[in-house]
């Protein structure tokens, strides 16, 4: 178990996962009838870390807290950034004025699509108001002002695709292995995820405001279920990332048409193209389906999942300028990139294109 408040030497080639137990110390988080968010999420976080440490040799765990202490939101992101983490997992529990809602949801950083999602972010962000100088540290961000959240619509999150992918692993595990109600993968402007420079998610592992779910969240058994689900999601995600960087396969039907792309820019030694992914699916989708409207759609088989993209250009700026229009039809759309037909991270593509 370790708390690294800054840089530290790591095992060679180890993957680094930061486990962030929300709240702590003077910040209790959401209050239930019998429990507090800060205690529940710390217990789950320590269990997740323990599973990783016991089962995954080449993965190091860094906790933002291991005790009941107050850690500022920006500090949590800094711990992940300075340790060059591969994944940031912030663990919380939800609450609502109404006692009925229950179930789990996992968020990636982005602009909320519903008021409900915005409310979850507002609640989690409001903790900065008990931090000193919060206005300075968060660039004038007002956690309670809806207008403040507009900045998240302007933000291009280069880790969005991976964050959403990891988030869906978490939700799958919660639903299928821990038998929790799946409220889905969502996006909203969480300050704790704002400045992280790696795939990052915020998990709401259940509603402390729902009496039944609170009992589950407070129980050793319930915490074990949730922690092992999160652990398995981390393991699956890291394994998939490893295999993605090594093996890439295109659907046969695509290969032929892709040839033209590889010749459209002979100034660069490598051909980098950008396009907009609108959906990914474990089963193939008919490209002429009404779902895609008038868009010309391309299909890629990456790992076990079919990715469907629209628009395509060697200029990132052009693709970026198409994004708003595409998002009108596909709100979750985001930019991805390929080099010589192989998918590469957007960060890498932008670096190479400079
Ligand atoms: Zn919280």
Q: Which domains does the chain have, with CATH numbers?
A: 15-243 (3.40.630.40), 252-353 (3.30.70.1070)
Per-residue pLDDT tens digits of the chain, which is 354 residues long:
455 554 555 677 789 999 999 999 999 999 999 999 999 999 999 999 999 999 988 899 999 999 999 999 999 999 999 999 999 999 999 999 999 999 999 999 988 889 999 999 999 999 999 998 888 888 888 999 998 888 877 777 789 999 999 999 999 999 999 999 999 999 999 999 998 999 999 999 999 999 999 999 999 999 999 999 999 999 999 988 877 654 333 333 333 333 333 333 334 456 889 999 998 877 778 888 778 888 889 888 887 788 889 998 888 888 988 888 898 888 888 999 998 888 888 888 888 876
Centre of ligand 1 to C-alpha 29, Å, is 5
Residue 329 pLDDT:
85
Structure tokens given for 280? 């990914």
Euclidean distance between the first and the last CA atom of the chain, given in angstroms as a whole number: 41
Centre of ligand 1 to C-alpha 3, Å, is 20
Centre of ligand 1 to C-alpha 93, Å, is 6
Centre of ligand 1 to C-alpha 176, Å, is 24
Centre of ligand 1 to C-alpha 101, Å, is 16
* Among candidate residues 123, 111, 106, the one with its CA nearest the CA of residue 183: 106
235 Cβ contact list (under 8 Å, min separation 6): 52, 55, 56
Centre of ligand 1 to C-alpha 30, Å, is 6
Q: Can you tell me the distance from the alpha carbon of 204 to that of 93, in angstroms, rounded to the nearest whole number?
A: 5
Residue 9 pLDDT:
58
Centre of ligand 1 to C-alpha 94, Å, is 7
Centre of ligand 1 to C-alpha 92, Å, is 4
Are 93 and 44 a contacting pair, CB within 8 Å?
no
Residue 270 pLDDT:
67
Residue 267 pLDDT:
41
Centre of ligand 1 to C-alpha 41, Å, is 8
Centre of ligand 1 to C-alpha 34, Å, is 16
Burial letters 91-128, b for 16+ CB under 10 A, else e? bbbbbbeeeebbbbbbbbbbbbeeeebbebbbbbbebb
Centre of ligand 1 to C-alpha 173, Å, is 21
Residue 8 pLDDT:
55
Centre of ligand 1 to C-alpha 12, Å, is 33
Centre of ligand 1 to C-alpha 309, Å, is 35
Centre of ligand 1 to C-alpha 107, Å, is 12
Centre of ligand 1 to C-alpha 230, Å, is 17
Centre of ligand 1 to C-alpha 143, Å, is 14
Centre of ligand 1 to C-alpha 337, Å, is 34
Centre of ligand 1 to C-alpha 38, Å, is 8
Centre of ligand 1 to C-alpha 217, Å, is 14
Centre of ligand 1 to C-alpha 120, Å, is 9
Centre of ligand 1 to C-alpha 61, Å, is 21
Q: Can you tell me the distance from the alpha carbon of 148 to that of 194, in angstroms, rounded to the nearest whole number?
A: 13
Residue 354 pLDDT:
65
- Strand 87-94 and strand 200-207: the pairing is parallel
Beta bridge partners, 313, equal: 274
Centre of ligand 1 to C-alpha 90, Å, is 9
Centre of ligand 1 to C-alpha 73, Å, is 11
Centre of ligand 1 to C-alpha 241, Å, is 28
């Amino acid at each position: 178990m370790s708390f690294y408040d800054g840089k530290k030497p790591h095992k060679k080639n180890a993957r680094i996962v930061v486990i962030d137990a929300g709240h702590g110390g003077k910040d209790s988080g959401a209050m239930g009838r019998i429990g507090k968010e800060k205690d529940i999420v710390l217990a789950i976080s320590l269990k997740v870390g323990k599973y990783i440490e016991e089962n995954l040799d080449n993965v190091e765990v860094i906790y933002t807290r291991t005790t009941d202490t107050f850690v500022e939101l920006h500090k949590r992101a800094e711990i992940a950034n300075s340790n060059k983490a591969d994944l940031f997992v912030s663990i919380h529990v939800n609450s609502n004025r109404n006692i009925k809602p229950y179930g789990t949801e996992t968020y990636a950083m982005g602009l909320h699509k519903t008021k409900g999602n915005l409310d979850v972010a507002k609640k989690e962000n409001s903790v900065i108001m008990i931090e000193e100088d919060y206005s300075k540290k968060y660039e004038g961000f007002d956690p309670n002002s809806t207008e403040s959240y507009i900045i998240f619509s302007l933000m291009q999150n280069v880790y969005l695709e991976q964050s959403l992918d990891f988030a869906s692993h978490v939700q799958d595990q919660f639903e299928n292995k821990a038998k929790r109600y799946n409220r889905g993968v969502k996006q909203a402007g969480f300050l704790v995820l704002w400045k992280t420079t790696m795939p990052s998610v915020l998990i709401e592992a259940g509603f402390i405001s729902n009496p039944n779910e609170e009992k589950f969240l407070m129980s050793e058994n319930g915490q074990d279920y949730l922690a092992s689900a999160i652990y398995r999601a981390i393991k699956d995600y890291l394994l998939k990332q490893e295999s993605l960087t090594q093996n890439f396969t295109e659907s046969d039907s695509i290969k032929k048409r892709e040839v033209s792309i590889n010749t459209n820019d002979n100034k660069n030694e490598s051909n980098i193209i950008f396009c907009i992914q609108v959906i990914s699916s474990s089963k193939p989708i008919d490209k002429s389906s009404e779902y895609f409207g008038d868009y010309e759609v391309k299909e890629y088989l990456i790992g076990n999942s079919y990715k469907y993209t629209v628009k395509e250009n060697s200029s990132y700026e052009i693709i970026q300028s198409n994004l708003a229009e595409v998002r009108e039809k596909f709100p979750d759309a985001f930019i991805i990139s390929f080099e010589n037909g192989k998918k590469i991270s957007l960060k890498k593509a932008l670096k190479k294109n400079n």
